[in-house]
Chains A and B, each alone.
Chain A
Amino acid sequence: MGEPTTKAAPALPSIRGIGEMRHLGLLGALALLVVVGLITRPENFATASNLVSILSLAATIGVITVGATFVIIGGGIDLSVGAVMALASVWATTVATQSYGPVVVAICAILVGTGAGLLNGWLIAYGRLVPFIATLAMLVAARGLAQRMSDRKTQLISEGNFSIVELSTTRLLGIPLLVYIFALVVVLGWILLNRTTFGRRTYAVGGNPEAARLAGIDVRRHSMLLYGLSGLCCGIAAILIMARTTTGSSTHGDLYELDAIAAVIIGGTLLTGGRGTIVGSILGLLIFTLITNLFILNGLNTSDQLIAKGLIIVVAVLLQRRNLKERAP
């Protein structure tokens, strides 16, 4: 994991190259994991079905990670993502919602997610709650509301709404549709972050809120929108998880917030805000998913898997700090 980064570091042509450089390190780590997979499980690692299962697994958290990247670059944190996704999945699969057909189910999931996100954002930006507290409260409350709505039961998607499930069963070029949705969200997220005023302001608000304010940016409104965006991503993720599991449940997305935040951090986004990339977050997420996959393929203990993930977070952050020092003037 550390090999490629350390070797490439001194060869930097310019400071501007560091962004890509860091991704090079992540790509190296990813390649290393692939090699490990090929060596330990040559017969089932490089199969089409295994790759599809990795991507399908990554898709749900992946969409959430895109939203989390925005929030964290904007200097905030969203702990409620898993719970909001669960709530959206439950709300969208109630008997009442399902009676209107698959389109309404999908729209419902998106509206619930966005609404919860905007509420987070409003509490943080205008109610001046600390993001950690506001979204922690949302985590607990959304999970509770989901339990209450579903009566703690798993809600199946009814026959009439099976087109939702088809997102995971229908394949285009051998890849399930939900992976395409994930890819689309990543591309749109990248464009939003890198090519629009919204993205530029996200970096500004996270990097130096006072400078952003004095430059005439409505910092509060922007923060609120960031959480709304994160909620929107949770709503889309809810559709994906309903497609994959054919259910809506209050237990969906448990601890997704930690995976999403970990992926963002491994991807080189600063928790203090102002710097980070979507590509990095997605690479971080793929590294995480690949580790899970390798542990399962090799029949290893899931507890060891958690330990490995913990180590990776620490190593990734230590490497990034080294990078930071190198670029300091």
Chain B
Amino acid sequence: MLVMKGIVKQFPGVRALDGVDLDVRAGEVHCLLGQNGAGKSTLIKVLAGAHQPDEGTISFNGAEVRPGSPIDAIKLGFATIYQELDLVDGLSVAENIFLGHEHARLGFVNRAAGRRAAREVLERLGHPEIRPSAEVGRLPPAAKQVVSMARALSHEARLIIMDEPSAALAHDEVANLFRIIRELTAQGVAVVYISHRLEEIREIGDRVTVLKDGRTVAVGLPARETPTQRIVSLMTGRNVEYVFPPRGGREPGEEVLRVEGLSSPGVFGDVSFSVRAGEIVGLAGLVGSGRSEILEAVYGARPATGRVLLDGRPVRRGVVGTVRRGMGLAPEERKAQALLLDQSVTANITLGTLPGFARFGWIDRKRERAEAQRLSELLDIRPPDPERPIRTLSGGNQQKAVLARWLLGGRKLLLLDEPTRGVDVGARAELYAVIHDLAERGIGVLLVSSEVPEVLGLADRVLVLREGTVIHEGEAGELDEHAVLDMIMNGRAA
């Protein structure tokens, strides 16, 4: 029904899709697999009309199509349910379902007709309990998922793309999702299903296409029969070069951080571990496994129960306190959570430890600039001009500035969340060296990365997370990428 051939999509500096083939048959559930950054999201956006491919062809029911905008895609019968739900919280269920194609005459919305139609769709989805007049913002996540799906159905979609639909759902809700998917496919609708959970793919999927580094590495494998070993090895064995500094020469010292029974209902539960001075501990897990949330909770930026001790003394909740005690966080979303883009590199470096440069509130600008200069040279931030606005720096150099921020003021523990996201290969190697250097200075490092090789290459010890629980803890040297991927996707401790 849908055939994509040789799709290429280029972004400045990245070839996100580098020749992807996909063929989807009517009435099947076609699963798309691949690690983070393999190009799944870009591929979906091409189908949804949000991106236009630079090369390649898409044909639908034999005719070549070119969805140039989301509206085009909808008209073709393609509906997309994104990972982050795209609902308008302030509107009702019915209004959301028919957003953009309301039951209206001369611009006046026929609310009764809209509600009636919404009820029909919701009943068809097996959710008559969701009231069409309810405000979407007040619904639980699972119900929102249903509304999103109802919207797809209301368009008479013939191809539905679902991006990690189960990520926000509890177990019994997933069963209901599968029931709906089966009904849809029985009516001849094709579903492209994206998930990291292999057992789901085994249960609902018909065929599997695997992406790696923007390329298709396998097309149309049978979902149930293909051995896990094969799928995992298709997803790994990447081309990206990882250059890690040599291990060794570091002797972990005293325990810096101890976490006991840290829990946040529905996100992660009963997480306990410790980090020693000069030790790098890695958290491996999928998006939604609770890894970033655990970092935030340790940092005091997210409420959680349990105990966090720094140097044997409990920390008070709240970032102001944890920073004062010597923690630092390099957050996942560099631009949104760490940088003041309009400000100079200097101002960004000293943001976390500003009182240290001031006397009665008066900033000693000479000393501030000298320190920023010293750190820029130490971490080789380029261009070597700390007065430049940080927005003019590359991603890798911005990240170095964020790390430089926490080299000040005697940090004891650094929490690094995806430190190499959006950073090119060369700068990665430099960042790895910086992180090792931090540990050599006796700082404890807690590292989160969605790239398994990165965790294994950098960390001394690795905790494997799945759905908010630690399922394995061990020395990094005793694990390999296959074993870790197998654990985080299948939930089996190796």
Contact = CB atoms under 8 A, between A and B. Distances in A.
A203 interface: yes
Interface residues of B, number: 34
Interface of A: 15-16, 195-198, 200-201, 203-204, 207-208, 210-218, 274-275, 329
Given A215-B352, A216-B324, 16 more contacts: A15-B388, A201-B354, A203-B340, A203-B343, A204-B351, A207-B340, A207-B341, A207-B342, A208-B339, A211-B336, A211-B338, A211-B351, A214-B337, A215-B351, A215-B405, A274-B340
B222 interface: no
A20 B392 CA distance: 19
Interface in B310-342: 319-320, 322-324, 329, 331, 336-342
Contacts of B336: 208, 210-211
A15 B320 contact: no
B320 A216 contact: yes
10 contacts: A197-B357, A197-B361, A211-B351, A214-B299, A214-B301, A214-B337, A215-B351, A215-B352, A274-B340, A329-B391
Contact of B323 (A16, A200, A204, A215): A215
Nearest to A192: B361
A204 B340 contact: yes
Contacts of B391: 329
Nearest to A207: B340
Contacts of B338: 211, 214-215
A38 B187 CA distance: 81
A216 B388 CA distance: 23
A216 B347 contact: no
A207 B338 CA distance: 11
A49 B421 CA distance: 63
Contact of A211 (B339, B355, B358, B362): B339
B363 interface: yes
A15 B337 contact: no
Contacts of B319: 213-214, 216
Secondary structure of the B side of the interface? helix
B365 interface: yes
A267 to B, nearest CB: 16
A46 B301 CA distance: 59
A238 to B, nearest CB: 26
A292 B15 CA distance: 57
Contact of B361 (A196, A210, A274): A196
Contacts of B362: 195-196
B387 interface: yes
B55 to A, nearest CB: 27
Most-contacted residue by chain A among B336, B354, B357, B362 (CB, 10 A)? B354
Interface centre among A212, A213, A214, A275, by most chain B C-beta atoms within 10 angstroms, is A214
A198 to B, nearest CB: 6
B453 interface: no
Contact of A274 (B324, B342, B363): B342
A198 B362 CA distance: 9
B404 to A, nearest CB: 13
